[in-house]
């Protein structure tokens, strides 16, 4: 829930308001929402090996929305889980998938996990690997444009139970790779994480990719989608996938208070205002992200920052994978305080204690 916030009692915003070249139009406080708990792990309808793995990971009980999504997927129902960042959406779809693949780890690709961006897919790989590690033969592999040819050949020769990719890679691979078309035949689960990104022209493209993919899968797969909170979840996901869905909604689930402030620059450009706000955050020792909608703008933010002594790194498509990974790790560790990014960092990448 939102309520008006008195920025004069906030040290950072009070400092910002003293600059005559900007106006703080208004501030709102968003308070955290408590998530409801579901049943203990021991009472879930999954294999004992999966229960034991969850306990070893420190998971003793699921949230109610995770439990409801789990039950639907186990019944073979297409499921759309709508909840905020950090509410356990990944665990909600991985648990039923693991329950399936631990029984048949060498029967090819059982789950195709599709993420909107390569950066998000590779970030989520770490979480997936943490959950599949206890199970013999269960592997998760990223298959995208940055995957070396050697690794792709290994995937074709010995398909992992869980393949992590993105819609554009599926689009290209269905056209040019007979080996890819072969390994997706056994797919039982198609996961669309952060599905709210699939809107507009990109969404239309993904909708057609999903329909083409379905032609190569033997049998009808179970579709699992996750999303941040949106206003029309059923209409959105059924239009995207072309199948009926059950919707599970959980709310935002934010764990801390969030202050939303609208700032109007008066005596300088928006670009200079952005750099000025970044300087304020850095002086207070706060990690922050700056989002822009193009490569050109984020590079301009970095250039202007350098000119005025504000250290800003750029995260965008077109950088080498190792460069993006280095920036993410520096931000996560606190070595780097400010990153200017295109939507490559917008979709739920874990950057730790972001301020």
> What secondary structure does DSSP assign to 277-303, as a single string?
HHHHHHHTT--EEEE-SSHHHHHHHHH
Q: Are 118 and 148 in contact (CB under 8 A)?
A: no
pTM (predicted TM-score): 0.73
The CATH topology of domain 37-251 is: Rossmann fold (3.40.50)
| Phi, psi for 220 (deg, rounded to 5) | -95, 115
* Reported confidence tier of residue 352, pLDDT bands at 50, 70, 90: low
pLDDT over 90 for what percent of the chain? 56
Q: What is the pLDDT of residue 173?
A: 95
Highest average pLDDT, of 54-58, 60-64, 221-225, comes from 221-225
Reduced to 3 states (helix: H, G, I; strand: E, B; else coil), residue 81 is strand
> Is there a common fold for 37-251 and 269-355?
yes
Q: What residues pair up with 79 in beta bridges, in sequence order?
A: 224, 246
pLDDT digits (tens, 9 = 90+) for 15-54: 999 999 999 999 999 887 778 888 898 988 888 988 988 8
Q: What is the pLDDT of residue 126?
A: 80
Distance CA 198, CA 207 (A): 8
Reduced to 3 states (helix: H, G, I; strand: E, B; else coil), residue 172 is helix
Q: What is the pLDDT of residue 318?
A: 79
Domain regions of the chain by residue span: 1-31+257-267, 37-251, 269-355
Q: What is the pLDDT of residue 66?
A: 92
* Reported confidence tier of residue 117, pLDDT bands at 50, 70, 90: confident
Q: What is the pLDDT of residue 151?
A: 93
What stretch of H or E contains 251? strand 246-251
Homologous superfamily, domain 269-355: P-loop containing nucleotide triphosphate hydrolases (3.40.50.300)
pLDDT digits (tens, 9 = 90+) for 289-309: 999 988 899 999 999 999 999
Phi-psi region of 251 (alpha: psi -120 to 50; beta: other; left: phi over 0): left
pLDDT surpasses 90 at 272: yes
From 329, 303, 311, select the one nearest 119 (Cα to Cα): 329
């Amino acid at each position: 829930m939102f309520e008006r916030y008195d920025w004069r009692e906030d040290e950072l915003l009070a400092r910002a308001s003293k600059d005559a070249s900007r106006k703080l139009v208004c501030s709102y406080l968003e308070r955290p929402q408590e998530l409801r708990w579901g049943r203990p792990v021991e009472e879930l309808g999954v294999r004992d090996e999966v229960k034991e793995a969850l306990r070893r990971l420190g998971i003793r009980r699921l949230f109610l929305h995770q439990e409801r999504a789990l039950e639907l997927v186990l019944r073979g129902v297409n499921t759309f889980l709508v909840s905020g960042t950090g509410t356990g959406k990944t665990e909600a779809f991985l648990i039923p998938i693991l329950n399936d693949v631990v029984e048949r780890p060498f029967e090819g690709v059982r789950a195709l996990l599709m993420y909107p961006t390569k950066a998000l897919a590779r970030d989520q790989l770490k979480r997936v690997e943490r959950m599949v590690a206890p199970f013999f033969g269960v592997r998760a592999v990223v298959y995208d444009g940055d995957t070396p040819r050697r690794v792709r050949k290994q995937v074709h020769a010995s398909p992992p139970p869980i393949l992590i990719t993105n819609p554009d890679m599926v689009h290209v691979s269905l056209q040019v790779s007979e080996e890819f078309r072969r390994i997706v035949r056994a797919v039982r689960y198609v996961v669309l994480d952060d599905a709210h990104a699939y809107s507009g022209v990109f969404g239309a493209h993904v909708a057609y990719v999903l329909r083409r993919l379905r032609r190569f899968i033997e049998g009808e797969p179970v579709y699992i989608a996750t999303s941040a909170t949106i206003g029309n979840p059923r209409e959105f996901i059924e239009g995207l996938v072309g199948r009926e869905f059950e919707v599970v909604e959980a709310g935002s689930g934010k764990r801390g208070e969030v202050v939303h402030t609208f700032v109007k620059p008066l005596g300088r450009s928006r670009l200079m205002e952005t750099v000025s706000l970044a300087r304020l955050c850095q002086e207070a020792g706060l990690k922050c992200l700056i989002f822009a909608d193009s490569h050109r703008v984020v590079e301009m933010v970095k250039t202007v920052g350098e000119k005025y002594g504000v250290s800003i790194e750029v995260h965008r498509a077109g950088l080498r994978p190792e460069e993006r990974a280095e920036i993410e790790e520096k931000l996560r560790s606190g070595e780097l305080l400010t990153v200017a990014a295109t939507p490559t960092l917008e979709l739920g990448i874990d950057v730790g204690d972001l301020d």
